[in-house]
Protein backbone atom coordinates (compact mmCIF):
# COMPACT_ATOMS: atom_id res chain seq x y z
CA UNK A 1 0.00 0.00 0.00
CA UNK A 2 2.74 2.46 0.97
CA UNK A 3 4.64 1.66 -2.20
CA UNK A 4 1.57 2.39 -4.35
CA UNK A 5 1.23 5.80 -2.68
CA UNK A 6 4.88 6.45 -3.38
CA UNK A 7 4.54 5.43 -7.01
CA UNK A 8 1.76 7.98 -7.46
CA UNK A 9 3.68 10.81 -5.81
CA UNK A 10 7.30 10.10 -6.64
CA UNK A 11 7.84 9.76 -10.37
CA UNK A 12 11.63 10.13 -10.32
CA UNK A 13 13.51 6.82 -10.44
CA UNK A 14 15.97 7.98 -7.76
CA UNK A 15 13.09 8.72 -5.38
CA UNK A 16 11.50 5.33 -5.96
CA UNK A 17 14.86 3.65 -5.34
CA UNK A 18 15.21 5.70 -2.13
CA UNK A 19 11.85 4.45 -0.87
CA UNK A 20 12.76 0.88 -1.75
CA UNK A 21 16.08 1.37 0.06
CA UNK A 22 14.11 2.60 3.09
CA UNK A 23 11.98 -0.55 3.03
CA UNK A 24 15.07 -2.71 2.56
CA UNK A 25 16.49 -0.95 5.61
CA UNK A 26 13.56 -2.27 7.62
CA UNK A 27 14.33 -5.75 6.33
CA UNK A 28 18.11 -5.50 6.84
CA UNK A 29 17.69 -4.20 10.39
CA UNK A 30 15.15 -6.97 11.23
CA UNK A 31 12.38 -4.50 12.09
CA UNK A 32 9.73 -6.79 10.63
CA UNK A 33 10.87 -9.73 12.72
CA UNK A 34 11.04 -7.66 15.91
CA UNK A 35 7.53 -6.34 15.30
CA UNK A 36 6.24 -9.84 14.54
CA UNK A 37 7.71 -11.21 17.77
CA UNK A 38 6.40 -8.28 19.84
CA UNK A 39 2.87 -8.70 18.50
CA UNK A 40 2.91 -12.42 19.25
CA UNK A 41 4.18 -11.86 22.80
CA UNK A 42 1.50 -9.22 23.42
CA UNK A 43 -1.20 -11.47 22.00
CA UNK A 44 -0.07 -14.30 24.28
CA UNK A 45 -0.24 -11.99 27.30
CA UNK A 46 -3.73 -10.88 26.28
CA UNK A 47 -5.00 -14.43 25.93
CA UNK A 48 -3.34 -15.39 29.22
CA UNK A 49 -4.83 -12.38 30.99
CA UNK A 50 -8.25 -13.14 29.61
CA UNK A 51 -7.98 -16.74 30.78
CA UNK A 52 -7.10 -15.54 34.29
CA UNK A 53 -10.20 -13.33 34.33
CA UNK A 54 -12.37 -15.99 32.71
CA UNK A 55 -11.43 -18.65 35.25
CA UNK A 56 -11.73 -16.45 38.36
CA UNK A 57 -14.99 -17.38 40.07
CA UNK A 58 -14.29 -14.87 42.87
CA UNK A 59 -14.06 -12.04 40.35
CA UNK A 60 -17.43 -12.91 38.82
CA UNK A 61 -19.01 -13.25 42.27
CA UNK A 62 -17.68 -9.82 43.26
CA UNK A 63 -19.64 -8.40 40.32
CA UNK A 64 -22.78 -10.30 41.36
CA UNK A 65 -22.69 -13.25 38.94
CA UNK A 66 -23.24 -16.81 40.09
CA UNK A 67 -22.18 -18.13 36.70
CA UNK A 68 -19.26 -17.10 34.50
CA UNK A 69 -20.70 -15.70 31.25
CA UNK A 70 -18.07 -15.41 28.53
CA UNK A 71 -19.24 -11.97 27.42
CA UNK A 72 -19.10 -10.58 30.96
CA UNK A 73 -15.59 -12.00 31.38
CA UNK A 74 -14.54 -10.28 28.17
CA UNK A 75 -16.01 -6.95 29.31
CA UNK A 76 -14.30 -7.18 32.70
CA UNK A 77 -11.01 -8.04 31.03
CA UNK A 78 -11.29 -5.16 28.54
CA UNK A 79 -11.91 -2.64 31.30
CA UNK A 80 -9.03 -3.86 33.42
CA UNK A 81 -6.52 -3.91 30.58
CA UNK A 82 -7.21 -0.41 29.17
CA UNK A 83 -4.45 1.38 31.16
CA UNK A 84 -1.91 -1.23 30.11
CA UNK A 85 -3.00 -0.93 26.48
CA UNK A 86 -2.26 2.78 26.54
CA UNK A 87 1.22 2.19 27.92
CA UNK A 88 1.94 -0.60 25.46
CA UNK A 89 0.62 1.47 22.56
CA UNK A 90 2.87 4.37 23.55
CA UNK A 91 5.86 2.05 23.79
CA UNK A 92 5.14 0.46 20.43
CA UNK A 93 4.78 3.88 18.83
CA UNK A 94 8.18 4.91 20.18
CA UNK A 95 9.77 1.73 18.86
CA UNK A 96 8.08 2.10 15.48
CA UNK A 97 9.24 5.69 15.18
CA UNK A 98 12.81 4.72 16.02
CA UNK A 99 12.58 2.01 13.33
CA UNK A 100 11.56 4.67 10.81
CA UNK A 101 14.50 6.88 11.75
CA UNK A 102 16.84 3.89 11.47
CA UNK A 103 15.48 2.97 8.03
CA UNK A 104 15.88 6.60 6.93
CA UNK A 105 19.49 6.54 8.16
CA UNK A 106 20.06 3.29 6.27
CA UNK A 107 18.73 4.95 3.10
CA UNK A 108 21.01 7.92 3.67
CA UNK A 109 23.98 5.62 4.22
CA UNK A 110 23.32 4.08 0.81
CA UNK A 111 23.48 7.55 -0.73
CA UNK A 112 19.78 8.19 -1.30
CA UNK A 113 19.18 10.73 1.48
CA UNK A 114 18.39 13.66 -0.82
CA UNK A 115 16.10 11.52 -2.98
CA UNK A 116 14.27 10.28 0.13
CA UNK A 117 13.91 13.86 1.31
CA UNK A 118 12.44 14.92 -2.06
CA UNK A 119 9.98 12.02 -2.03
CA UNK A 120 8.93 12.77 1.56
CA UNK A 121 8.25 16.38 0.56
CA UNK A 122 6.08 15.26 -2.36
CA UNK A 123 4.17 12.78 -0.22
CA UNK A 124 3.61 15.45 2.44
CA UNK A 125 2.25 17.86 -0.15
CA UNK A 126 -0.16 15.24 -1.51
CA UNK A 127 -1.38 13.91 1.84
CA UNK A 128 -1.88 17.35 3.43
CA UNK A 129 -1.33 15.83 6.87
CA UNK A 130 -0.15 17.82 9.86
CA UNK A 131 3.42 18.92 9.29
CA UNK A 132 4.52 19.87 12.77
CA UNK A 133 2.56 18.63 15.75
CA UNK A 134 3.43 18.78 19.42
CA UNK A 135 6.28 16.40 20.16
CA UNK A 136 4.53 14.54 23.00
CA UNK A 137 1.20 14.33 21.18
CA UNK A 138 3.00 13.04 18.14
CA UNK A 139 4.93 10.45 20.16
CA UNK A 140 1.72 9.15 21.76
CA UNK A 141 -0.61 9.24 18.77
CA UNK A 142 1.50 8.65 15.67
CA UNK A 143 3.00 5.37 14.56
CA UNK A 144 5.25 7.23 12.09
CA UNK A 145 7.31 10.28 12.98
CA UNK A 146 5.96 13.53 11.56
CA UNK A 147 7.43 14.96 8.39
CA UNK A 148 9.37 17.73 10.13
CA UNK A 149 11.02 15.30 12.57
CA UNK A 150 12.10 12.99 9.75
CA UNK A 151 13.62 15.86 7.79
CA UNK A 152 15.35 17.15 10.92
CA UNK A 153 16.85 13.70 11.53
CA UNK A 154 18.11 13.56 7.94
CA UNK A 155 19.59 17.06 8.34
CA UNK A 156 21.24 16.08 11.60
CA UNK A 157 22.87 13.13 9.88
CA UNK A 158 24.24 15.59 7.30
CA UNK A 159 25.73 17.77 10.05
CA UNK A 160 27.40 14.78 11.72
CA UNK A 161 29.08 13.81 8.46
CA UNK A 162 30.62 17.28 8.02
pTM score of the predicted model: 0.81
In which element (H, E) is residue 37 found?
helix 31-54
Return the domain boundaries, the chain.
2-161
The answer to whether residue 104 is catalytic is yes
DSSP H helix total and E strand total for the chain:
8, 0
Instruction: Catalytic residue, from 15, 23, 155, 158: name it.
Output: 23
Closest CA to 26 of 92, 108, 102: 102
Q: In tens digits, what is the pLDDT along the chain, a chain of 162 residues?
A: 455 555 566 778 888 899 899 999 999 999 999 999 999 999 999 999 999 999 999 989 998 999 999 999 999 999 889 999 999 999 999 999 999 999 999 999 999 988 888 888 888 877 777 667 778 888 888 888 888 888 888 887 566 665
Instruction: Catalytic residue, from 104, 125, 158, 162: name it.
Output: 104
What is the length of the chain?
A: 162
pLDDT at residue 160, as a whole number: 63
17 CB neighbour count, 10 Å cutoff: 19
Amino acid sequence: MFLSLVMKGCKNDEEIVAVIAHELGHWKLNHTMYSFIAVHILTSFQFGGYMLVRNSTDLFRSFGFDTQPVLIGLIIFQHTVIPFQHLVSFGLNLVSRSFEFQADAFTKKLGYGSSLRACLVKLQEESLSAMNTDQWYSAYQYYYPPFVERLAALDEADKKEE
